């Protein structure tokens, strides 16, 4: 064990820091959920990142990456969050589909999709869930009917984040009409502006849009858009979900910065706080560090050739619960002002804690609910009998 950064890693950190200092927009960008304008501002930022080859540092150079390892990715993320850089509007693409494409895509598919993804030219949404297929994803009913060199897509997807403004979606479809459950599914890409696609925004808990329903009616896409073999969709989705829960979706830096801001908030209001709040603030710091250390150890293991397993599920539970706890603590510090939204004159910047709190409530739901994750941990990690 050697828990020191190499000279090369330190130099890399400085390089990232210098680039971000020179390039991160000084004012926060408008939300990518609320308006086309905000979405496009984030796309522009993705373009800028990719111009510096900073879009996905772990990707091969030919697709706009730097071929760096996961420790360097963590360093990049630390600097990225430290700099307060914009949220990644293409997170479903770069963090989820990207690694999956790398594993399952043909060379032609990689060439077609990865570069445009890294540059933000094509922003992706995930279209897996359906009204009747949430936790029970294998219950998807949307169909992909093969006709010559094309698939004809039909069905109804729901809760697709950023689909309102995104360009493409990767969807899970039943390609074998007689099949059931996990069999006969395929992962197929479709443009969100294709004829027959209708996207309808769904207002979220705070009244803002953020996810959408997608209605597909005889949408024709080339068979080229299928990732992996026909019928391999479930297997591919589970690999993607592993990336999602395990590593990429929520890097530790996000929570370490939230914990730091929480400590700053506490210090500002220390005189009004009591030991219960103080303890919760310390807990937030410890949890964020525990998460970071755990991810560093996973990253080391993966670099050495290990595979991500059921511990992806433990990560997802840990960060989602930590996120809620941190935001609840911040609201406890804000006291009477906790309920105010940004428009309230007495709220100011502190309203971001309430916004963050609402979003944190979704954490135990998306990317596979925490109840489902606990079942996975119990059955696959601990070997308990299946219920």
Partner 1 sequence: MDFRFTDEQKMTAEAVEGLLADLCQASDLRRLMESGDARDEKRWTALVEMGLQGALVAEEEGGLGLKPADFVLVAEACGRAGLPEPLVDNAGVAIPLLADIVRATGAGADLLEQALAGEITVAAAHPVNAFIADADTAGAIIAIWNDELFVVTPDAVELVRQQSSDPFRRLFTLAARPSSAVVSLPLSEAQAYLDAALDRGALFSAAQLAGIAQRAVDLGVAYSKERMQFGKPIGSYQAVKHLLATAQVKIEFVRPVIYAAAAATPDRNVFSRSRISHAKIMASEAADLACRTSVQVHGAMGYSWEVDVHFFLKRALALASWWGDARFHRARVATRVFGHPLGADQTFPKG
Ligand X SMILES: Cc1cc2nc3c(=O)[nH]c(=O)nc-3n(C[C@H](O)[C@H](O)[C@H](O)COP(=O)(O)OP(=O)(O)OC[C@H]3O[C@@H](n4cnc5c(N)ncnc54)[C@H](O)[C@@H]3O)c2cc1C
Find which of partner 1, ligand X, none residue 308 binds, CB within 5 to 8 Å per kind: none
* SS3 at position 39: helix
Q: Is 346 in the site for partner 1 (CB under 8 A)?
A: yes
Site string for partner 1, 96-135 (x = CB under 8 A): ---------------------------------x--x-xx
CA distance 383 to 377: 8
160 part of the interface to ligand X, by CB under 6 A:
yes
Q: Whats the size of the chain, residue-wise?
A: 387
Q: Which of 159, 165, 189, 234 binds ligand X (CB under 6 A)?
A: 159
- Assess whether 244 carries a catalytic annotation: yes
Q: In 3-state terms, what secondary structure has residue 218?
A: strand
- Whether the Cβ atoms of residue 47 and residue 120 lie closer than 8 Å to each other: yes
Question: Are 187 and 171 contacting, i.e. CB atoms less than 8 angstroms apart?
Answer: yes
For residue 350, what are its two tokens? 């502190």
Interaction of residue 128 with ligand X, rule CB under 6 A:
yes
Sign, CA torsion 226/250/292/66: positive
Q: Does residue number 372 form part of the binding site for ligand X (CB under 6 A)?
A: yes
Residue with Cβ nearer partner 1 (84 or 131): 131
**What, of ligand X, partner 1, none, does residue 35 touch, CB below 5 to 8 Å by kind?**
none
Contacting ligand X (CB under 6 A), which of 5, 19, 215, 366? 366
Q: Point out which residues pair with 216 in neighbouring strands.
A: 155, 197
By CB under 6 A, is residue 365 in contact with ligand X? yes
User: Rounded to the nearest whole angstrom, what is the least distance from the CB of residue 140 to ligand X in the complex?
Assistant: 10
Options 78, 122, 244, 311, the catalytic residue: 244
Interface with ligand X, residue 91, by CB under 6 A: no
CB of 315 to ligand X, least distance (A): 16
Residues 187-226 that bind ligand X (CB under 6 A): 211
By the rule CB under 8 A, 295 interacts with partner 1? no
- Of the candidate spans 182-190, 251-259, 271-279, 306-314, the one that interacts with partner 1 by CB under 8 A turns out to be 271-279
To partner 1, the closest distance from the beta carbon of 201 in angstroms equals 11
Rg (CA), the chain: 21
Residue closer to ligand X by CB (options 50, 126) is: 126
Which is nearest to 191 in space by CA: 238, 127, 110, 139?
127
Q: Tokens 């990225």: give the residue.
A: 80
DSSP track, 124-172? EEEE--BTTBSS-GGG---EEEEETTEEEEEEEEEEEETTTT-SEEEEE
Nearer Cβ to ligand X, position 263 or 372? Answer: 372
Q: How far is CA 78 from CA 20, 85, 139, in A?
A: 11, 11, 38
In the shown chain, the binding pattern of residues 315 to 334 toward partner 1, with x for contact by CB under 8 A and - for none, equals ---------x---x--xx--
139 interacts with ligand X by CB under 6 A: no
The least distance separating partner 1 from the CB of residue 376, rounded to whole angstroms, comes to: 12
Q: Is 276 a residue that touches partner 1 (CB under 8 A)?
A: yes
Say what angle helices 311-334 and 252-268 make with each other, to 10 degrees.
Answer: 20
Closest approach of Cβ 308 to partner 1, in Å? 23
Q: Which residues pair with 214 in a beta bridge?
A: 157, 199
- Residues designated as active site: 244
């Amino acid at each position: 064990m050697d828990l020191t950064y190499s000279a090369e890693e330190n130099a890399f950190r400085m390089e990232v820091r210098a680039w971000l200092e020179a390039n991160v927009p000084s004012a926060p960008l408008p939300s990518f959920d609320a308006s086309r304008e905000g979405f496009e501002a984030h796309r522009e930022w993705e373009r800028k990142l990719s111009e510096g080859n900073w879009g996905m540092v772990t990707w091969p150079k030919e697709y706009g990456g730097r071929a760096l390892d996961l420790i360097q990715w963590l360093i990049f993320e630390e600097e990225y969050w430290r700099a307060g850089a914009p949220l990644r509007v293409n997170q479903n693409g770069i963090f989820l589909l990207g690694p999956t494409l790398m594993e399952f895509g043909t060379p032609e598919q990689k060439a077609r999709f990865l570069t445009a993804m890294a540059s933000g030219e094509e922003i992706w949404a995930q279209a897996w869930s359906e009204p009747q297929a949430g936790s029970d994803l294998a219950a998807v009913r949307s169909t992909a009917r093969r006709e010559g060199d094309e698939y004809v897509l039909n069905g109804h997807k729901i809760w697709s984040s950023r689909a309102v403004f995104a360009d493409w979606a990767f969807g899970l479809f039943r390609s074998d009409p007689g099949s059931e459950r996990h069999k006969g599914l395929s992962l197929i890409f479709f443009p969100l502006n294709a004829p027959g696609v209708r996207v309808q925004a769904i207002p979220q808990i705070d009244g803002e849009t953020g996810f959408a329903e997608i209605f597909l009616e005889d949408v024709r896409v080339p068979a080229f858009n299928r990732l992996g073999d026909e019928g391999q969709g479930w297997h591919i989705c589970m690999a993607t979900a592993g990336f999602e829960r395990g590593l990429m979706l929520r890097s530790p830096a996000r929570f370490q910065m939230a914990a730091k801001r929480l400590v700053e908030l506490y210090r500002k209001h220390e005189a009004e706080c009591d030991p219960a709040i103080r303890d919760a603030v310390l807990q937030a710091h410890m949890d964020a560090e525990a998460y970071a250390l755990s991810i560093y150890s996973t990253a080391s293991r993966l670099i050495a050739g290990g595979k991500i397993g059921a511990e992806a599920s433990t990560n997802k539970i840990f960060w989602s619960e930590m996120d809620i706890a941190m935001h609840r603590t911040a609201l406890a510090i804000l006291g009477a002002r906790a309920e105010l939204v940004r428009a309230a004159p007495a709220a100011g910047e502190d309203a971001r804690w309430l916004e963050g709190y609402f979003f944190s409530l979704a954490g135990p739901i998306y990317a596979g609910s925490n109840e489902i994750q606990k079942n996975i941990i119990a059955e696959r990690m601990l070997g308990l009998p299946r219920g």
